[in-house]
A and B are shown apart, each in its own frame.
Chain A
Amino acid sequence: MRIEALFLLGVAAFFGLVGIIYWFWGYEQGGTVMLVGTTLLGFVPGAYYFWWSRRMRPRPEDRPDASIEEGSGIIGSFPSSSIWPFVLGMGLFLMVLSIVFGLWLIAPGIALVLSSLIGVTAESRRGGTV
């Protein structure tokens, strides 16, 4: 976890530095705001990971001498198949098209998005597949 944390903190450090130089050299607002945003993108998760990395034992994937057996056990839940990403994607597609081709398309779009939200929640609670 430590390398991951340092990687993200490195992003923050670099763009923090560049942001400071850029502001005091050019006084240009748009670019500075984006550089500050980029700094935060690295700092927020990086600081969280760093905080954790000092409080946890190295995971098997952090240790060069770990054996494959140490990684056994449940490592996550991976649904095999699910219709809901398709439904959600098509709902968003219709909502976007409604802006150009007529607002009536927004009704089926919202219906699909809502049904996919309900569907994916139910599916996750069942913990199963389609």
Chain B
Amino acid sequence: MHIIDRYAYTNAIRELDPAQKGGLALIAIILCLALDQPAVGVLTLGWMFALAVLWARVPALVFGRALLAEAPFLLLSLLGVALSVSLAPLAAPAVQLGPLWLGSSAESLAMATRLFTRALGCAAALNFLILTTPLLDLIELLRRLRVPETLIDLMSLTYRAIFVLLESLQRMTTAQATRLGYSGPWRAMRSAGLLGSQLFLDAYRRSQRLQMSLESRGLSGPLRVLPLDYRRDRRARWIGAALAASLLLVGAWR
């Protein structure tokens, strides 16, 4: 969370209009899903990696680690597709585990590969977006797209509250730890429970104080704030065109 947030705010294309960055990610995702071919998925991954690392100057390692964090979910869901489980004997290649037969076929493997590369391409596109665009800008983009104000307000308050509550959480954990609250599994469990309920109370009191301070600044209905300024880059269009053309070419070539 923190590391993604940090690069989102410090990367080289932070100032770029989120609509342009979102547009690039969207092109990649749509083509990846529509063309549905392993080569397209892999190419998308390459594109997004290159854009994040060369254009936005996000370290390759950070991009890789974000992808790696998502990989287990992806692999787990692939198991179900690649392997078939049956009570009746399966044709080779298969293994027998007690009463169960565990097998796989060329079709299911091909299906799994397609799914894997497609998901990989989409995940890479989303990673490019979140590593280069702070949530703040994404919320701003949604505001421009006329998402209902109540939702926008909820999102922006939640995003801010995450950091405020994280600070509270750290303070409370330290306070408990100095009084040996985490010496031993039982005590740790008890302390964590207390922490949870206290954090809830803390959040509740904070929300009341926040309400007061917003009212004192003239709150009336939705949270109205200045729209943010962004830089628009002509290159983004060329990149978008090249991205779409290359994905379509690879998709058509097969």
Bound together: no
